[in-house]
Structure 1
Amino acid sequence: MALIRWEPFREIDSLQREMNRLFDSLSPTPTTKENMGVAFIPPAEIQETPEAIQLRLEIPGMEAKDLDVHVTAEAVSISGERQSEMHSEDKGVTRSEFRYGQFRRVIPLPTPIQNDKVQADYKNGILSLILPKVEAERTKVVKVNIG
């Protein structure tokens, strides 16, 4: 029977390479040819008050006219397309880490809202929506049994 030397750091390195490969496959960078069309998902912030739901999305570098917002009583859908501006230089290589292409995000709402009374504002790359709650949800009182 032959003795094999165990090297724990080699196994840790192997595990780290596998984890890096896994994360690279889940979040591709837009600098490779096969994923140049990968768009971004705008980050969102949601806050609930007794009267309304306030939703903010970070969508920099776009015009308000390029955004498409649809609101139902249960969800908000935001979509748009960021157009690429190609520039070529004669002296060297240009690298771009900007993401271009279409995006769409659907955000489910915690309570029903009045979708015909939504207020929207887009300023400095932040889309702000005020979604008033349905009147029945605002005045709803629930009795809690203890023990």
Structure 2
Amino acid sequence: MDPFQNMINWRQNMDRFFGEDFWGEFEGILKPTIPQINMYKSDNELLLLVNVPGLENLDDLDIFVDYSILEIKGLISLQTSQKQCIQEEILQGTFERKVELPYPVRGDRMQATYRNGIVVIQLHRMIQEEGKRNKIKIKSLDEK
């Protein structure tokens, strides 16, 4: 008998008993997400503080915004000499994180700066013109 099949069966039984989202709730406890992000908003502006320690080359960090999704990709690498690690609390490694923003943002008003291990991202709310109505022309499908 395949031991991995037993694990799959066990997990499926746990999913049925506790619900499918049961394991997802433990993910942040077992493996904290990196990078850590603080997000602040006003009526028309978002300010995000992203913790990326040890970033020496800004080209190693990519930030993308698509409508109301922020995506951050990069590498946290803390260089140390050839010493044995005794305790490690600062998470390292490659990361990719997507964050849903509270509202859509403008593509022409984005700014990011890096200082002292913190990336500061400023985004501006996409405001659509109020009262602008677009008329839709109706085409007849009846043949004449």
Give the shorter-chain TM-score range: 0.5 to 0.7
In structure 2, relative to structure 1, the CA distance for the partners of 1:54 and 1:84 (3 Å cut) is closer
The CA RMSD over aligned residues, in Å, is: 2.7
Distance 2:105 2:125 in 1: 4
In structure 1, the partner of 2:66 is 72
- Give the match's secondary structure for 2:75: strand
Does the 8 A contact of 2:34 with 2:91 survive in 1?
Answer: no
What displacement does 1:83 show?
A: 3.6
Question: When you count strand as a share of all residues, which structure comes out higher?
Answer: 2
In structure 2, relative to structure 1, the CA distance for the partners of 1:96 and 1:70 (3 Å cut) is same
**Residue segments in structure 2 that go unaligned for 5+ positions in a row:** 1-25, 132-144
In structure 2, the partner of 1:19 is none
What displacement does 1:136 show?
A: 2.0
1:134 to 110, 113, 126: 126
1:111 to 99, 103, 117: 103
Does the 8 A contact of 1:118 with 1:130 survive in 2?
Answer: yes
Distance 1:84 1:66 in 2: 13
Identity of aligned residues (%): 28
Does the 8 A contact of 1:47 with 1:54 survive in 2?
Answer: yes
In structure 2, the partner of 1:53 is 46
Size of the alignment, in residue pairs? 102
Does residue 125 of structure 1 match 2:114?
Answer: no
TM-score by length of 1: 0.58
Distance 2:106 2:125 in 1: 6
**Residue segments in structure 1 that go unaligned for 5+ positions in a row:** 1-22, 29-38, 141-147
TM-score by length of 2: 0.59
In structure 2, relative to structure 1, the CA distance for the partners of 1:59 and 1:85 (3 Å cut) is closer
